[in-house]
Structure 1
Amino acid sequence: MDEGIVSDGAYAALPHLVEAAATLPPGQTVDFWVDLGFIVTADHRPPVPADLEAGFGAALRLAERAAVRSLLAADTPAQVCAHLALSCVAFAGHYAGEALGQLLDPRENGLLLVCPWCESDTEIPEFFVVDPASPPFEAPAPPDPALVRQGGHPWAEVAAALQEEALPEEILGEGWEPFLRVAREVALAGVSPDITGQAVLCLVGGLVAVRGVPQRDARESARQLMCLSGHFRCWDCERTWTIADGLAADPDGAGPERSATQAWTDSDGAAATAEPAAPTAPGGTGRAATRFRQDGDRVLAADGTPWGRTAVFSDGARGSSGGVNALAVVSLPGRPALVAGAGDQGVVRLWDVVDGRLVHDLLPEHPDRIRSMTSLPLPDGRVLLASGGDKGTIALWDPATGQPVREPAGEWPGGVTGMCAATVPDGRTLLVTATPRGAVRLWDPDTGECVGRLNPYGSPIQSIAAVPLSAARTLIAASDTAGRVHVWDPAVDDPWESGAAVQLNARALADADHRAAAVAAVPTPDRTVLATADHQGVVMLWDLTTGAPIGSGLPASTGTAGPPVITGTTLHGGRTILVAGTRHGHRLRVWEPESGEVGHIALDVALTCLATAGADLIVGHDRGVLSLPLTRQ
């Protein structure tokens, strides 16, 4: 084997080497059996030629008998003992032996699991760092007594070594006896291929406990190995699997858990109760995890059936629009909604949301790179479009004509990082802008004058959103660079006065260790709520009339961890949908808070911003804009 690739001639040579090694004293061949274990479980190995199958199969049975003798005869360092035990399991033909490659240096590499359903990686870097003094979950079920390996096996002596009366009481500590009982039952059954991987990994841990040295290292390693008999939750499809299934390339009979269980997550390596998602058809009810992917201009559901089509928004007459950094949906009275987008070129474009057809290239060009946009519905029925640049310039456009209402003005240091529209009790609609230096200003869109200031503490702002409480009153929520969330009432002249603003519950934020990096307003059938997202992929919903959290939120996920982007909408029939992703990432989670249902979309482009237009998700990305249906078409 060279760099993980098994040579074509291995199956002809190995039977002769096995026959020779089997005649040597057991204590001299430990390293050979471990090396052979790595070969037979290698990721890149050719199939056994048909004319060599019988001879190679007989060699593995001989290797199993000889390796088990070595395991029982030699006091072996704990880590080597684990490798030898897994090699014996691999020679027996059980898929749990494939964990050998993963556990080459577990403290350095952590634990990397592959979801049997969606093939996404879930990493638990701290899994082998802590020695669990007591079991973090119950032992797996012992194997069915009927699952005894046919044709004889060499594991009877292993079962005898694991007898309770032969083991000192302190070998593993209190609470681990059920795991040792499972290990003994697996050995009595001869490591039958039909036994679960969970139970077989208990056997591996038990062997390290009785044959590894020194005792302290063996005890710690054995308890960690027995924790491999637990479960993990895939960050992507959010199904819960046994860790044994995640360690194997193609585990026999693998299926997700269908009831609540303790499961490790990818967020911090801690065991937490997970409510697994049973596989159901797209559009079903309950905690069903649905997976979507792009196939050209089509969106396919998890079962491969068509879900709908993407609409790729066309480029302007002057060439490619390139990446889009900011989006806004403009609803004109009596007309289809338009999507506005802009990027590094400073050109604002308007597309028809129905077919992605370019309606306008707005002129003149914005003098700097556009970082934020918002729609401004005014009391007289007009709708304006505002854009803010990275040099602090602010421009207003008439989306109906494509013409500027006012030349870009202003030069605020740090740029305009966020914009939104706020309705105040006197009927006016004000433009709210925020900068990373902490300036949050209210503007009269007709006069261009600054009519108020928020954020009296001057916290640097990275995201801002307007959350309507009623038709005449809106609150402004913002997240600062420290992860704090601020809520202000723009109708109050004195920024130190709270007005109708209620701050988010500090205890709930602290308990969740939630440091918000993005905020968004999410409409529901009876009110608009605030959504906050952090760099771990956690999304929480808040009632701004009380400051209290709503529900348990969307948990952390490495697949959507990083600078967050979020948006939300309410579909026909009253279903609220929230979409979360990561800036420059390729994956989205589609969450229905009421039911807890989570779907997943894998994109072919790098995400930059999100918006919704009815039942369509608008995705700004590194090459332009596209839309995806949130309901089956």
Structure 2
Amino acid sequence: MVQEIARFSSGSGHMAGPLLGTGQDGNPLLFSSVADGWEVSRWDIRTGGKVWCDREGMSGCNDKALVRISGGGLRLAIATEDGIEWWDALTGRRLPEMTWEGWTIWAVADGVLPDGRPILLGAGHDGVVYRWDPVTGEPLGDTPSKGRGIMTAVGFVPSPDGWGVLVSGDDDGRIWRWNAASGHQLGEPVEGHDSGVSLIRALPSAEGLLFVSGDQDGVLKRWNAATGAQAGPPIEIRAEVYALATARVGGTAVMFAAGSDEVVRAWDADTGEAIDLLLRSSVVSALAQPDGTALLATSTVQGDIVIHACALRVG
């Protein structure tokens, strides 16, 4: 069951990219950005009012991620055509001293090093996966460049031993795996897709160490981050996926996808079985709730942000 619980205008006049997160008090937080980079905002989900809004602008918004830091702080990182921009996610204070300018970064993801330190990961146009300290913005080293291809997607897959696996995808459809702490490559890249990898997300799966990748042809594949082996058959949507989100809903690990046909779809992450879902949007963000439900945030083409409460059944 999916129920709309809030709807409000972003004021942009066109689709806004939502991002859900959790505050230190456990309450949900909502952020949005627009692709051309002219506005970044935080919203009060209950009232639809803006908590803060930055209209200083930047060179596009390719992707964004929330990174929790010690002391209850929360950073918002945005991947741009020029690099990485940072904000204090709670107050909206822009952090220009942390700006990183080097290459276009197509995707970002948050992760945790074995010693508990948070990191930000970035997929670079130069074929490199970057790592940054979200407290200072300082680079923490990067993966060796292969001299060809463009990294277009990145994700962090937690592991029971605390090490974690950094996963990336390139414009030739290859899937790469790296040690998140050292940046050393794990095995050879896998020829994972027939077109460029556009999205990677870790799965909150009972199987553990699983992630999902999507390509420009609308094909989703699940993988084991430890072995690099594919987990189950591919899921063919045949519409380009613009957004992938994952959440545990009622004990089930669920994948949500939205894209060029403006349909939000869902699957059981462990079995690949489709889940009935009737939502229309080209973007989606998901956040698991303590009561076993999930929040879904979508946007209309006119710029309305819509929040849904989601409790799903497989079948």
What range describes the TM-score normalised by the shorter chain of this pair? 0.7 to 0.9
Give 2:67's aligned residue: 330
CA apart distance, 1:314: 7.2
Give 1:343's aligned residue: 80
Structure 2 residue identity aligned to 1:325: N
- 5+ residue gaps, structure 2: 13-40
1:311 correspondence with 2:35: no
Give 1:586's aligned residue: 303
Three-state SS of the structure 2 residue aligned to 1:361 is helix
Give 1:95's aligned residue: none
Structure 1 residue identity aligned to 2:311: E
Query: Separation in 2 of the partners of 1:480 and 1:372?
Result: 14
Three-state SS of the structure 2 residue aligned to 1:521 is strand
Three-state SS of the structure 2 residue aligned to 1:487 is strand
1:430 correspondence with 2:165: yes
Give 2:19's aligned residue: none
CA apart distance, 1:482: 2.0
Structure number with bigger Rg:
1
Query: Separation in 2 of the partners of 1:539 and 1:298?
Result: 23
CA apart distance, 1:528: 3.4
Give aligned pairs, total.
Answer: 283
CA apart distance, 1:399: 1.2
Three-state SS of the structure 1 residue aligned to 2:151 is coil
Q: Give matches, 1:51-66, under 5 Å.
A: none
Q: Residues 548, 358 of structure 1: CA spacing in aligned structure 2 closer, same or farther, 3 A cutoff? A: same
Structure 2 residue identity aligned to 1:350: W
Which one of the candidate residues 503, 508, 513 is aligned to 2:233? 503
CA apart distance, 1:595: 8.0
Q: Are the aligned partners of 1:395 and 1:409 in contact in 2 as well (CA < 8 Å)?
A: no
Which one of the candidate residues 274, 277, 280 is aligned to 1:549? 274
Q: Give matches, 1:152-551, under 5 Å.
A: 287=3, 290-294=6-10, 306-313=47-54, 320-346=57-83, 348-359=84-95, 361-362=97-98, 365-406=100-141, 410=145, 413-453=148-188, 455-460=190-195, 461-470=197-206, 473-492=208-227, 495=228, 497-498=229-230, 501-503=231-233, 515=239, 517=241, 518-524=243-249, 526-550=251-275
Structure 2 residue identity aligned to 1:401: T
Give 2:25's aligned residue: none
Query: Separation in 1 of the partners of 2:50 and 2:104?
Result: 31
Query: Separation in 1 of the partners of 2:259 and 2:217?
Result: 11
Query: Separation in 1 of the partners of 2:291 and 2:133?
Result: 33
Q: Are the aligned partners of 1:368 and 1:393 in contact in 2 as well (CA < 8 Å)?
A: no
Q: Residues 521, 430 of structure 1: CA spacing in aligned structure 2 closer, same or farther, 3 A cutoff? A: same
CA apart distance, 1:293: 2.0
Structure 2 residue identity aligned to 1:361: E
CA apart distance, 1:581: 4.0
Three-state SS of the structure 2 residue aligned to 1:565 is coil
CA apart distance, 1:372: 0.7
Q: Residues 465, 457 of structure 1: CA spacing in aligned structure 2 closer, same or farther, 3 A cutoff? A: closer
Q: Are the aligned partners of 1:352 and 1:359 in contact in 2 as well (CA < 8 Å)?
A: yes
Q: Residues 390, 413 of structure 1: CA spacing in aligned structure 2 closer, same or farther, 3 A cutoff? A: same
CA apart distance, 1:585: 6.7
Q: Are the aligned partners of 2:143 and 2:185 in contact in 1 as well (CA < 8 Å)?
A: no
Structure 1 residue identity aligned to 2:87: W
Q: Residues 350, 534 of structure 1: CA spacing in aligned structure 2 closer, same or farther, 3 A cutoff? A: closer
Aligned-pair identity in percent equals 24
Query: Separation in 2 of the partners of 1:396 and 1:339?
Result: 15
Give 1:117's aligned residue: none
CA apart distance, 1:380: 1.5
Which one of the candidate residues 287, 291, 300 is aligned to 1:569? 287
Greater strand percent: which structure?
2
Q: Residues 587, 307 of structure 1: CA spacing in aligned structure 2 closer, same or farther, 3 A cutoff? A: closer
- Comparing both chains, which one has the higher relative contact order based on Cα–Cα distances under 8 Å and sequence gaps of 6 or more? 2
Structure 2 residue identity aligned to 1:328: A
CA apart distance, 1:403: 1.4
CA apart distance, 1:542: 1.4
Q: Residues 587, 444 of structure 1: CA spacing in aligned structure 2 closer, same or farther, 3 A cutoff? A: same
Greater helix percent: which structure?
1
Q: Are the aligned partners of 1:522 and 1:567 in contact in 2 as well (CA < 8 Å)?
A: no
Q: Residues 289, 312 of structure 1: CA spacing in aligned structure 2 closer, same or farther, 3 A cutoff? A: closer
CA apart distance, 1:287: 4.9
Q: Residues 440, 308 of structure 1: CA spacing in aligned structure 2 closer, same or farther, 3 A cutoff? A: same
Once superposed, what is the RMSD of the aligned Cα atoms?
3.5
